[in-house]
Structure 1
Amino acid sequence: MDNVCVIGGSRYFGLHLVTLLQRSGARVTVVNRGSAPPPPGTEHLVADRSDEASLTAALGGRTFDAVVDQVLYTPAQAAVARRVFAGRTPRYVMTSTMEVYDPATSPLVPAATGPVDEDAVDPAGWPVDPALPWHDPAALARHFGEPAAYAEGKRQAEAVLAHDAPFSWASVRSAHVLGGGAQDFTGRLAHYVERIAAGRPVAVHPAARPTSFVHHREIAAFLARTAAGDATGPLNACSDGALTAVELSALVAERLGTSARLRSPEGGDASPFSFDRDYAMDNGRAAALGFRFSRTADWLPGAIDEAAAGVR
Structure 2
Amino acid sequence: MHVLVMGGTHHVGRALVEVALRRGDTVTTLNRGQSRPPAPGVEALVADRTDPASVRRALGERSWDAVIDTWAWAPSAVRDSAWLLADRARHYGYVSSRGVHAWPWPAGADESAPLVAGDPGSQDGSDYAAAKRGAEMAVIEAFGERALLSRAGMILGPYEDVGRIPWWLRRLERGGPVLAPGPAGAALQYIDAIDLAAWMLAAAERGIGGTFNVAGPAGHTTIGDLLTTASQVIGSDAELVWAPAELLEREGFPLGMEFGLRYPGNPCPTGIHDADVSAALAAGLILRPLRETLADTWAWLRREGDPAPRSDTPSPAQWFDPAQEQHVLELVRPRRTS
> Is the Cα contact below 8 Å between 2:55 and 2:81 reproduced in 1?
no
Q: Corresponding residue for 1:144?
A: none
> Is the Cα contact below 8 Å between 1:86 and 1:166 reproduced in 2?
no
Q: Which runs of 5+ in 1 are unaligned?
A: 102-107, 141-148
Identity of aligned residues (%): 28
In the aligned structure 2, how far is the partner of 1:28 from the partner of 1:222? 16
Of stretches 184-193 and 34-43 in structure 1, the one that deviates more from structure 2 is 184-193
Q: Which runs of 5+ in 2 are unaligned?
A: 263-267, 307-338
In the aligned structure 2, how far is the partner of 1:131 from the partner of 1:18? 28
Q: Secondary structure at the match of 1:65?
A: strand
Could you tell me how far 1:84 is from its partner in structure 2?
1.4
In the aligned structure 1, how far is the partner of 2:50 from the partner of 2:66? 19
In the aligned structure 1, how far is the partner of 2:147 from the partner of 2:189? 24
Q: Secondary structure at the match of 2:149?
A: strand
Mark the CA change 1:302 to 1:16 in structure 2 (over 3 Å): closer, same or farther: same
> Is the Cα contact below 8 Å between 1:62 and 1:88 reproduced in 2?
yes
In the aligned structure 1, how far is the partner of 2:122 from the partner of 2:87? 28
Mark the CA change 1:45 to 1:39 in structure 2 (over 3 Å): closer, same or farther: same
In the aligned structure 1, how far is the partner of 2:69 from the partner of 2:213? 16
Mark the CA change 1:270 to 1:220 in structure 2 (over 3 Å): closer, same or farther: same
Query: Out of 124, 133, 152, which is 1:174 matched to?
Result: 152
Q: Secondary structure at the match of 2:216?
A: coil
In the aligned structure 2, how far is the partner of 1:34 from the partner of 1:236? 31
Of stretches 27-36 and 275-284 in structure 1, the one that deviates more from structure 2 is 275-284
Q: Secondary structure at the match of 1:165?
A: helix
Could you tell me how far 1:285 is from its partner in structure 2?
1.0
Cα deviation digits, residues 229-262 of structure 1 (max 9, x gap): 2222222222344444455344445653432124
Q: TM-score, normalised by structure 2?
A: 0.72
Cα deviation digits, residues 88-121 of structure 1 (max 9, x gap): 11210011123334xxxxxx3453224x322225
How is 1:39-50 mapped onto 2 (pairs within 5 angstroms)? 39-50=39-50
Aligned letter for 2:113? Answer: A
> Is the Cα contact below 8 Å between 1:201 and 1:261 reproduced in 2?
yes
Q: TM-score, normalised by structure 1?
A: 0.77
Cα deviation digits, residues 205-228 of structure 1 (max 9, x gap): 669853312223222211211221
> Is the Cα contact below 8 Å between 1:5 and 1:68 reproduced in 2?
yes
Q: Corresponding residue for 1:146?
A: none
Cα deviation digits, residues 264-295 of structure 1 (max 9, x gap): 14436233213331312333112212333235
Cα deviation digits, residues 14-69 of structure 1 (max 9, x gap): 33322332343432211110113221222211001221111011111111111111
Q: Corresponding residue for 1:143?
A: none
Structure number with greater CO (CA < 8 Å, separation at least 6) is 1
Q: Corresponding residue for 1:211?
A: 188
